[in-house]
Structure 1
Amino acid sequence: MSLFGVIFIAAALCLGTTSGASLGVVYTEGGLVQGKNHRMGLFSSVDVFKGVPFADIPVRFEKPQPHPGWDGVLKASQYRDRCLQVTLMQSGSQGSEDCLYLNIFVPQGRKVSTGLPVMIYLFGGAFLLGASNDVSFLGNSLYDGKEMADRGGVIVVTVNYRVGTLGFLSTGDSRLPGNYGLWDQHAAIAWVNRNIRAFGGDVDNITVFGQSAGSVSVNYQMLSPHNQGLFRRAISQCGVAVSPWALQRDPQAMARKIAEKVGCTQEEHMTACLKMTDPVALTMAGKVALSEMGKEPVVYMLELAPVVDGDFIPDHPSKLFHNAAKFDYIAGTNSMDGHLFAGADIPSINQKYKTTHPEEIKQLLAGLTMEKGTAAVNSSFATYSEHWGPNPEKATIKKTVVEIETDYLFFVPTQIALQLHAKYAKLKQRTYSYVFNMPTRIPMFPSWMEADHAEDVQYVFGKPFDTPVGYLPRHRTLSGYMIAYWTNFAKTGDPHRGQEVPTQWPLFTNKGNPVLMINNKINVNSVQYNFRTRYVQYWSTTYASLPNQAP
């Protein structure tokens, strides 16, 4: 290298060091906070604030309350505990009741950023587990927001909220109204709205996004009357409020079951007893009985979820989409979202040398459609098997299982939610639909597998850039596309206004129902119309019109 080149690089590095901007100490309503600045490029960095309290330590089965504040400067450099919850294998508990904290990622250039769009992320985990810093990914949280903030030019905020028994137990009435986790999310959104300007954010340009249970939560935040004016846009990744797993079926029965497990058997004293019970015992009482798997579809074993409480959720979610008309909205699913559940319900679909039998599929359908009875089993099986022919291949039958659970649990409810949003928004606010169909990266899955549940998250958060050793160039291409579409939408309400994207994404309307197929090869042909319309029609019309079976 020439002497001139060496001098140029040294000068550039020196300039980058001296000119890099950082917020330093920030004033919030609770007090002063100080994060850490992380260098991302020659003239770019991200200020990271971890563990900033947005509410006080929650009182058991009560709405969150404002944090009392603190003296001095809060060193916001470490993630705080997740909310108390069961472990993934349901064998123990982890976390704390002192858990209502959020994390903020602010991109910086040569000057301190101002007026940036804000994106608040709600994690998934079946309303049972999860955290704002969940899943260590080669040393980093899966939800680490640095790459998305830096590449997208937005502030990213990740939020803790109560889950499991402590977040969603309800008696179905005023004794334990439930939805405490949704109230926590609302409190975090309100805190961001009040405080994010001090971090360089635009309070009039806030987007809430999430995946799975977090995706459903995003939809509930849109539908609730309590979020007027707090945010502007929303993105649901794999779940909506009208999904069959998004609302508790019988909260009172669930409350009695939990109460029995912890010894609160007297009906008249049940609520008081639950409030005084050891929080770990309460948490473990809400675990999923993995030993019972196979007796009914796994999705119905996830019993803790939001409820219609007459307050945060005043009515059945399908009747609340008029409240969502003021938000721009993206909603989509992964092409094989249901595989996570299908593989547990019918394990043979993942076993190369085993055959999946039609009777197994009928048994699964009987569990999924139990409220409709035999007629539903017969009509749904006929709908999904009509393309098989006389001698279907093993893979065809196995893929059908995944299609059934994907459609029933994710894709069709999402299409219904999009139609309801478009109906009420009437193009005053924008509606967009997508399907993420990148082939799976999980090596033990069948060769026909596309995107399983949650496989989209790594790309939205820029993991292929953050940990390049684990990915190939095509994964970085896809991640760049998704960050651009998501952050363009957050900035303008239009996913192709801003950073360059590979093709236009048409507005969703009830005519044609355009869907953008998202993978690393997006082009003009990636927009599909009337995608899986036959199955949307079946579940939303034919199946819905069948009479319920008498209990």
Structure 2
Amino acid sequence: IGISFAAKPGPFEKPKPHPGWDGILKATKFARRCLQINMIDPASSLGSEDSLYLNIWVPHSENGGFMSGDRGDVIIVSVGYRVGTLGFLSTGDSSFPGNYGLWDQHAAIAWVRRNIQSFGGDPDNITLFGESAGGASVCFQTLTPYNKGLIRKAISQSGVGLCQWAYNKNPHKIVAEKVGCPTDESMVACLKSTNAVTLTMILKGPHDIPFYSDPGVLSQLMSSVVDGDFLPDEPGNLFHNAAEIDYLAGVNDMDGRSFTAQDIPSLSDKNKEIPVLLAAYTKKKGEAGLDIAFAEYISNWDSTPSQDTIKRTAVEIGTDYIFLVPTEAAVYLHAANAKSGHTYFCVMSEPRLLAGPNKPYHDWVGADHTDDPQYAFGKLFTTPSAYGQRHRDLSGYMIAYWTNFARTGDPNKEHLTVPVTWPKFTTSGQNYLDINAKMNESSVGKQMRLCFENKRNLSVTHM
């Protein structure tokens, strides 16, 4: 643990190779995380500028859970990379091209390619895996020409490169103004000399951006950009670079719940709040797009829909526009461009652990954002008393699908048995697997809640 894969980067510069060390490196202590806002106390920061380290978990020969690498018999490497202002500040030109965090990830991938054989790994069988922003990062790493030949497989959960929040089409110089730097030719020198913590703390949330009125999750000033280098074109035009990569992507059926709750904390008027939420997502489609979308989402309402029905509709809207539509578009484009690469698509629908009568969440609440990693990483086997057998069963299913895919490119093939055969996603079939604790043959479906073509017409994903 705590192995340097690149030297400490200069401010707003690409990572440079690590100079190495003399003798034997004692890799027994975790490095500090990358400098970022403390999510528990947003008024403070945590982490360090010296943060380009990785950790390697190798399976042990004795019994153990997936957390120790044994259950799926795979080697796991976790990577630190620059985030926020230090990782993604861009002026939209050569002054600050941006994407420094993506370059960090690429440097880590290249390091693993060069060195993983020393840890018992296969350098020709690297699988990327990420969730949320990590899922979008995985997608970007498959799209850049710099990773051709380095990656064999990739898994994106609850985030792809086509999500609106994943990349910024209109970089701004508001960061300079907030820290007191000029926006003329001296801006670059001024920003590079500004304290890193100050730069990190200037945008503690979307409400610190005065001209952003989008839903909170879409108001991401610090995200990836089309820089003409790492991302030479719009993400939707780069899927040919992933033609030889096997790609598995999925969402949770209520990925947008927590984000929607932030944007509309109460629903007192169904004819006001729902259209306002939809208008933010469909504004590029104008009034006609809003009207079509509103009619689609309330088509199953009766004349007096319950509060739960209205809330669930709001969650479906947030899930569709923030996660589901972009992910469907990404797997469609991957399948359309694939040569040797195969495509798989899934939705996790297991209800929240704390959903139901006399519990914090309504009984209709399904899988929320970030619910899936605990199953994929086998947390339920390390703390068995906190979970039921159905949850451990689901965790076993996900570990089997994910590690089979990592080893062979096929989630159904290898040494771990799966409950249902997961069919490939193709442009004609558009199959997906509904993942939950009660899986059976009916868990295989085609398309999602709304017609895929209708969703593409209503969506505002960048394609």
1:103 maps to which of 36, 44, 55: 55
1:280 maps to which of 178, 181, 197: 197
Measured in 1, the distance between the counterparts of 2:459 and 2:6 equals 44
Q: Provide structure 2 residue ranges, at least 5 long, that are not aligned to the other structure.
A: none
Identity of counterpart residues, as a percentage? 53
Between 323-332 and 284-293, the greater mean CA deviation after superposition: 284-293
Partner of 1:357: 270
Measured in 2, the distance between the counterparts of 1:145 and 1:168 equals 36
1:306 maps to which of 202, 219, 224: 224
Measured in 2, the distance between the counterparts of 1:543 and 1:83 equals 34
Q: Which amino acid aligns with 2:161?
A: A
Measured in 2, the distance between the counterparts of 1:487 and 1:66 equals 30
Partner of 2:441: 524
State the Cα distance separating 1:348 from its structure 2 match. 2.3
1:289/1:361 CA distance change after superposition, 3 Å: same
Q: How does 1:238-253 map to 2 (within 5 A)?
A: 238-251=158-171, 253=172
Partner of 1:337: 255
State the Cα distance separating 1:542 from its structure 2 match. 5.0
For 1:439-460, what per-residue CA distance to the aligned partner results, in whole angstroms no more than 9, with x for missing partners? 0124422221000011001011
Specify the SS of the correspondent of 1:98. Answer: coil
In the alignment, is residue 399 of structure 1 matched against residue 279 of structure 2?
A: no
State the Cα distance separating 1:522 from its structure 2 match. 1.5
Measured in 2, the distance between the counterparts of 1:279 and 1:387 equals 51
State the Cα distance separating 1:265 from its structure 2 match. 1.8
1:410/1:542 CA distance change after superposition, 3 Å: closer
Partner of 1:17: none
Specify the SS of the correspondent of 1:193. Answer: helix
Give aligned pairs, total: 453
Q: Provide structure 1 residue ranges, at least 5 long, that are not aligned to the other structure.
A: 1-49, 111-143, 350-354, 546-551
Partner of 1:454: 370
Measured in 2, the distance between the counterparts of 1:68 and 1:100 equals 13
Measured in 2, the distance between the counterparts of 1:145 and 1:420 equals 36
Measured in 2, the distance between the counterparts of 1:432 and 1:356 equals 39
In the alignment, is residue 156 of structure 1 matched against residue 69 of structure 2?
A: no
Q: Which amino acid aligns with 1:229?
A: G
In the alignment, is residue 321 of structure 1 matched against residue 230 of structure 2?
A: no
Measured in 2, the distance between the counterparts of 1:475 and 1:532 equals 25
Specify the SS of the correspondent of 2:186. Answer: helix
Higher strand share: 1
Partner of 1:441: 353
Q: TM-score, with normalisation over the residues of structure 2?
A: 0.94
State the Cα distance separating 1:503 from its structure 2 match. 1.1
Between 145-154 and 236-245, the greater mean CA deviation after superposition: 145-154
Measured in 1, the distance between the counterparts of 2:306 and 2:244 equals 48
1:291/1:259 CA distance change after superposition, 3 Å: closer
Between 403-412 and 523-532, the greater mean CA deviation after superposition: 523-532
Are the counterparts in 1 of residues 15 and 103 from structure 2 also a CA contact under 8 Å?
Answer: yes
Measured in 1, the distance between the counterparts of 2:345 and 2:68 equals 21
For 1:274-323, what per-residue CA distance to the aligned partner results, in whole angstroms no more than 9, with x for missing partners? 00101111111132155889964112332210000000000000000000
Are the counterparts in 2 of residues 418 and 433 from structure 1 also a CA contact under 8 Å?
Answer: yes
Measured in 2, the distance between the counterparts of 1:229 and 1:404 equals 38
Q: TM-score, with normalisation over the residues of structure 1?
A: 0.79
Q: Which amino acid aligns with 2:8?
A: I
Q: Which has the higher contact order (CA 8 A, sep 6+)?
A: 2
Q: Which amino acid aligns with 1:517?
A: D
Are the counterparts in 1 of residues 293 and 458 from structure 2 also a CA contact under 8 Å?
Answer: no
Greater Rg over alpha carbons, structure: 1
Partner of 1:490: 406
1:346/1:246 CA distance change after superposition, 3 Å: same
Partner of 1:79: 30
Are the counterparts in 2 of residues 322 and 424 from structure 1 also a CA contact under 8 Å?
Answer: yes
In the alignment, is residue 541 of structure 1 matched against residue 457 of structure 2?
A: yes
For 1:383-413, what per-residue CA distance to the aligned partner results, in whole angstroms no more than 9, with x for missing partners? 1111112222221111110111111111111
* C-alpha RMSD over aligned residues: 2.0
For 1:148-178, what per-residue CA distance to the aligned partner results, in whole angstroms no more than 9, with x for missing partners? 6210000000110000000000010111000
Measured in 2, the distance between the counterparts of 1:529 and 1:148 equals 36
State the Cα distance separating 1:180 from its structure 2 match. 0.3
Specify the SS of the correspondent of 2:78. Answer: strand
State the Cα distance separating 1:147 from its structure 2 match. 2.3
Q: Which amino acid aligns with 1:175?
A: S
Are the counterparts in 2 of residues 262 and 281 from structure 1 also a CA contact under 8 Å?
Answer: yes
